[in-house]
Amino acid sequence: MNSYINEIDFFKGNKPEDLAAQYGTPLYVYNESVLRQQMRKVEGLIKKYPYTANYSIKSNSNLSILKIALEEGLNADAMSVNEMRILLLAGFPAERIFFVPNNVSSEELTFAHDNNIMTSLDSIDQLRRFGKLFPGSRCAVRINPGVGAGHHEKVVTAGKKTKFAIAEEDIDEVFEVAKEYNLTIAGINQHVGSLYMVPDPFLAAIKNFLRIARRFPDLEFVDFGGGFGTPYHKLSDEAPFDIDKLSAEMEPILDEFVKDYGKAPLFKSEPGRYCVAESSLILGRVHATKSNYGHKYAGTDIGMNVLARPTLYDSWHDIEIIRDNEVVTSDKGTEVVTVTGNICESGDLLAKDRELPVIKTDDLVAVLDAGAYGYSMSSSYNLRPKCAEVMITGDGNAKLIRRRETFEDLISLFC
Ligand SMILES: Cc1ncc(COP(=O)(O)O)c(C=O)c1O
């Protein structure tokens, strides 16, 4: 693919320079149609049995995006009190929120309980804490099935080397603690890791998880987790994650389980990235170009404070160059360049030694697939304000969905 921006008409007639002039750069720009399309795909993953897709809001918790998720019929999972609060604010009823925390305080558990939000406990210790606080209530447990999957060791969330969940070998203790505090284990959940591009790891994970599920009597729900991948190399024609194939191949596995178990619990998934990643790009400005000892650099205002993934995980994001509102394609000539941000860290790199169309000072750069773990992991390091977010709506309007932070915002917490 030559240009994703042109291919899908990302800006829907809006001029990138107008967006940059009105809202400043760096700027997260979302495309509502892509967002809704992705959400609809996960919503239709399981058709034959009761199913909900829980949008994992850690990937992007912008209020406008949450309202769209609600409209699209998704449920949601939350990792903290504030994630629960913003879901309630967006209009999610308590029964459509699932609290999947890690190492939380009694206060956080109490918030969920007082708001009738189902909670999953991810250690025996936390289950015991929950039992002492709320004997006789319903909850879920997060199980670590012993095998993980993911694009980077920092996003593998199951297996023998992770802090998450309760090991399979400790399930008997789950039953003991549940009995001691008269808890009903209403559901079990897992999340084995993130960003697999083919269905096989997920299929293997659900087969394994359903084997474990058989040990639990009378489950109301079984939650398989998220992790469905995004084609971050789309300009090199990487194929998207084939969710239809996953859907078809899951069905016989679910059939067999339902037959053996004697009933179909509510099945759940927890996709984050798949819903939002492709719906957003970051527009940034090239403020300087230079050559350092033979290496060409393009210095932009998209630092690791704006997009942490390349620094954190060595993640790849495709980059397009925009000049005079037009995408500059590689047929006009390319060069190998390192694209950096403006943060005082040598690891502040967006792309290292990347072959790109020749970049000039004052060009705009568009960093693709930035909607997941983009803004939500951004920071105000170097006292740079967090940037604004704009949605290109279905009918082509550019709508501000979060304003840029100001200096006053940044200093407002000082006493
Ligand atoms: C428990 C849990 N569920 C769901 C997700 C969402 O993963 P993804 O965005 O890869 O779909 C995560 C991501 O870290 C997670 O930890």
Give the pLDDT score at 222: 98
Give the pLDDT score at 52: 98
DSSP string, 321-338: EEETTEEEPGGG-EEEEE
Q: What is the largest CA-CA distance in the chain?
A: 71
Taking the centre of ligand 1 as the mean of its atom positions, its distance from the CA of residue 190, in whole angstroms, is 10
Taking the centre of ligand 1 as the mean of its atom positions, its distance from the CA of residue 55, in whole angstroms, is 9
pLDDT tier at 195 (50, 70, 90 boundaries)? confident
3-state secondary structure of 263: coil
For the stretch 41-73, pLDDT in tens is 999 999 999 999 999 999 999 999 999 999 999
Give the pLDDT score at 159: 67
* Cα-based torsion angle of the residue sequence 146, 252, 228, 69 in order, rounded to the nearest 10 degrees: -120
Mutation test of ligand 1: which of 38, 164, 270, 369 has the most ligand atoms closer than 8 Å to its C-beta?
270
Give the pLDDT score at 192: 84
151: pLDDT strictly greater than 90: no
**How deeply is 282 buried, as exposed, middle or buried, from its count of CB atoms within 10 A (0-12, 13-18, 19+)?**
buried
- What global pTM score does this model have? 0.96
Q: Catalytic one among 139, 344, 387, 415?
A: 344
Is the CB of residue 311 less than 8 Å from the CB of residue 341?
no
For the stretch 290-342, pLDDT in tens is 999 999 999 999 999 999 999 999 999 999 999 999 999 988 899 999 999 99
Give the pLDDT score at 163: 82
158: pLDDT strictly greater than 80: no
Cβ partners under 8 Å of residue 256, min gap 6:
none
Percent with pLDDT over 90 in the chain: 93
Ligand 1 and 194: CB distance under 6 A = yes
Q: Which residue's CA is the closest to the ligand 1 atom numbered 15?
A: 191
Is the CB of residue 380 less than 8 Å from the CB of residue 339?
no
Q: Is 139 a catalytic residue?
A: no
CA distances from 156 to 190, 198, 343, 353 (A): 12, 16, 28, 27
* Mean pLDDT, all residues of the chain: 95
**How deeply is 107 buried, as exposed, middle or buried, from its count of CB atoms within 10 A (0-12, 13-18, 19+)?**
exposed
Give the pLDDT score at 331: 87
| Secondary structure letter of residue 15 according to DSSP | -
Measured between alpha carbons, how far is 135 from 20 in angstroms, rounded to an integer? 55
Atom of ligand 1 lying closest to residue 273 CA: 9
Q: Which residue's CA is the closest to the ligand 1 atom numbered 5?
A: 226
* Cα-based torsion angle of the residue sequence 223, 59, 120, 69 in order, rounded to the nearest 10 degrees: -60
152: pLDDT strictly greater than 80: no
pLDDT tier at 194 (50, 70, 90 boundaries)? confident
For the stretch 286-302, pLDDT in tens is 999 999 999 999 999 99
Residue 122 carries which side chain, given as an amino acid letter?
A: D
Domains of the chain, each with CATH number or no CATH:
4-29+277-411 (2.40.37.10), 32-274 (3.20.20.10)
Taking the centre of ligand 1 as the mean of its atom positions, its distance from the CA of residue 18, in whole angstroms, is 35
